[in-house]
Amino acid sequence: MIVGEQEEVCDLPEYAHICDTPEHVAYWNRRARGFGGAPEDAFSASCGEENLLCLEGDRYAGESILVHEFAHLIHTVGIVAVTPGFDERLEAIRQRAIEKGLWQNTYAISNKEEYFAEAVQSFFNCNRFAPKADEIHNAIDSREKLRTYDPELYALLLEYFHETDLPLCEEAVSSRYHKADAFRKKFTEGYHYAISEIGSIGDTHTFWYSTHTPRGTEYFLIDAGNRTTTAAFDQQKLAEALSSFSDLEETDPWQLPLRSIRFNNSIDTLSFQLKEFDYRVSLTYYHITRLPTEVRPPYYWGALQREKGEHKVTSPDGEKAAYVSEGNLWVTDLTTNESKRISEDGSPYEYYSSNIYWSPDSKMIVCCKYRPGEERKLQLISSSPDDQLQPKTVAYDYPKPGDALPIRRPVLFIPDEEIQIHYDLPNVEEQYHLGTIRWDDSSRFFTFHFNRRGHQQYLIYSGDATGRLYPVVDERADSFVYYNTLYSYWFENSDELLWISERDGWRHLYLIDVPTGKVKRQVTKGEWVIKSVIQVDEDAGTALIKACGRVKGEDPYLEKYYKVNFRNGDIRPLTPENAHHAVTFSSDFQYMIDSYSRVDLPPTIVVRSTENGLVIYK
């Protein structure tokens, strides 16, 4: 483990058990920049970042603390475990060294553990040289000196280590790290008034932003409706409040260490994160409150969903509840509390999923018949688990290429009519994933996404109560369909789907007729790409998009914003300047803060109307 240059050893959770009182915290932070083996932490070694990288201010400059502490680990955990009697032999050699007057007035002679670790440093040519013993070191700082000075100890080490060098980092290395560390500061110290962070405030037309000024970091409010800019809060008062708050240190008003800033709608309360805690401050009285810590459940992106829950899913009208028990789908009448099994073909090997989807009219249910995939586990080490001090082994789902994946087959049920419809889904055994099941608002049909294994085909299917199943979207590619960036918008007032596709070689918008699966209109086209869809306004028939490369002669990587009419294909530029535009919208998309720049153009910050892109305030 590496103790950061700005960290103390007691900041590391592995050492919480020895940093259990304020006195112990003060002692260990003053005493140590690393540990190796028991009793501090039996299975780890640590050292300071500054020693590893030869940074300025290293109290152990001239020696390798990493080698020293890791030597403790090799000794107490490794060698002793496999070599009975090693400690007795080591102690006997140390006693003979004492009798010979060796290692006097050094740290090495204090006990057998330090005798071993100090000698290992010299063996690998990474110990500190002292011309005269100074209670810690002496002149024996190399392997050759150790061989002649304490030959018995040298011979012992030779049984376990190969003669090689682990040299200290060179000053040239240290200077390069310092140069890299100073690079950003060199170019940002004189760079003022660009937006560092920005955010909209609730459902208002006010934005907050921070910027670097000659004084430091300052915070401002932009009221787009009234065309004004004011200080966001009194930074001096907030700094004083932070400094007087029991958990926090003295704070520079122009270097406030705030993260995840949020204002309430009335802009009289500020919430923020500081270190690992959440706080709220009144901007009237500057009274600070620490908020309860939100405990988030552990998350692992690769976990397989077994879909075997027995929770009940209530129908939209509140009269029924559906659930899965013993692999089959059941429906309970919530008025009479009577339950009825509506499937008979579930089994332990292929059962109905507990992900249940009622139609909006509460008459139909869609859920998938689920066949689990092959179970394969990956064993990993959790170095800092929440429930114990020591590391532990954890197992994660980890399917490999070629393994059998879970298979889902959508089934439609009409409980009152005892109808069950299984669909003939092409290539169902080749699915990578089947999901995103949704019902049409009128309950006429449902849709789901089908990602074919290999990612060369991605479909959206529609199914209905007649048993009809057809593709609404069918994306194909010789290489792969980049399914993580697909975009779809289902219209509430029509049977249409707004879809992004690269089917013509460029990433563009298409308007799909859902009942037929046919393209009604390619909304955008040309040798340029849509990066993302920001917002869709059905009533106006428009979409806000971010795009690149539309203006010939400009850098094709510059991001610009447009309003697209998906009824007639009209495209209106909202950010016409030849620059890269970073935009933040108000919650109702009436205003936008636009910070635009190029490598040869300093940032300009303006407020625009999202209706037409006109600048209304600078």
Whether 161 and 292 map to the same domain: the answer is no
Whether 112 and 238 map to the same domain: the answer is no
Residues whose CB falls within 8 Å of the CB of residue 283, separated by 6 or more in sequence, listed in order: 233, 234, 267, 268, 269, 270
Whether 24 and 133 map to the same domain: the answer is yes
In a domain, 482, yes or no: no
pLDDT of 193 reads: 86
Residue 531 parent element (H or E): strand 529-537
In a domain, 353, yes or no: no
pLDDT of 396 reads: 87
Which range of residues forms the domain containing residue 274?
233-297
Whether 7 and 156 map to the same domain: the answer is yes
Residue 85 corresponds to which tokens in the numbers above?
Answer: 């009697």
Pick the closest to residue 522 from 484, 566, 479, 558 (CA basis).
Answer: 566
C-alpha pair distances (Å), 97 with each of 149, 401, 436, 480? 10, 60, 74, 70
Using CA of residue 123, residue 128, residue 130, residue 131, what is the dihedral sign?
positive
Whether 16 and 115 map to the same domain: the answer is yes
In a domain, 360, yes or no: no
pLDDT digits (tens, 9 = 90+) for 270-294: 999 987 789 999 999 999 999 987 7
Provide DSSP, 179-236. Answer: HHHHHHHHHHTT--S-EEEEEE-TTSSEEEEEEEETTEEEEEEEETTTTEEEESS-HH
Residues whose CB falls within 8 Å of the CB of residue 213, separated by 6 or more in sequence, listed in order: 192, 193, 254
Residue 262 three-state SS: strand
- Using the 3D structure, point to which of 249, 268, 297 is the last residue of a domain: 297
Residue 539 corresponds to which tokens in the numbers above?
Answer: 């009533």
pTM of the predicted protein model? 0.72
Residue 247 corresponds to which tokens in the numbers above?
Answer: 């958990």
In a domain, 447, yes or no: no
Residues whose CB falls within 8 Å of the CB of residue 5, separated by 6 or more in sequence, listed in order: 48, 49, 50, 55
Euclidean distance between CA atoms 109 and 181, whole angstroms: 39
Contacts 24+ apart (CB under 8 A), 304-310: 304/373, 304/375, 304/397, 304/399, 304/406, 306/372, 307/353, 307/354, 307/355, 307/368, 307/370, 308/351, 308/354, 309/354, 310/354
In a domain, 18, yes or no: yes
Whether 60 and 130 map to the same domain: the answer is yes
Whether 165 and 237 map to the same domain: the answer is no
Residue 503 corresponds to which tokens in the numbers above?
Answer: 């089917």
Whether 160 and 242 map to the same domain: the answer is no
- Using the 3D structure, point to which of 297, 323, 346 is the last residue of a domain: 297
Whether 164 and 243 map to the same domain: the answer is no
Cα 247 → chain centroid: 27
* DSSP category for residue 441: T
In a domain, 11, yes or no: yes
Residue 317 corresponds to which tokens in the numbers above?
Answer: 């009208």
Residues whose CB falls within 8 Å of the CB of residue 410, separated by 6 or more in sequence, listed in order: 366, 367, 368, 423, 425, 434, 437, 446, 448, 463
pLDDT of 249 reads: 67
pLDDT of 600 reads: 94
Whether 270 and 152 map to the same domain: the answer is no
In a domain, 324, yes or no: no
- Using the 3D structure, point to which of 138, 171, 204 is the last residue of a domain: 171
With a cut of 50, list the residues of the chain below it in pLDDT: none
**For residue 39, cis peptide bond before it (omega within 30 degrees of 0):** yes
Cα torsion through 233, 237, 238, 244, rounded to 10:
-170
Euclidean distance between CA atoms 313 and 331, whole angstroms: 9
pLDDT digits (tens, 9 = 90+) for 384-441: 887 888 889 988 888 888 888 899 999 999 999 999 999 999 999 999 999 999 999 9
- What is the tally of structural domains in the chain? 2
Whether 165 and 45 map to the same domain: the answer is yes
Whether 143 and 19 map to the same domain: the answer is yes
In a domain, 117, yes or no: yes
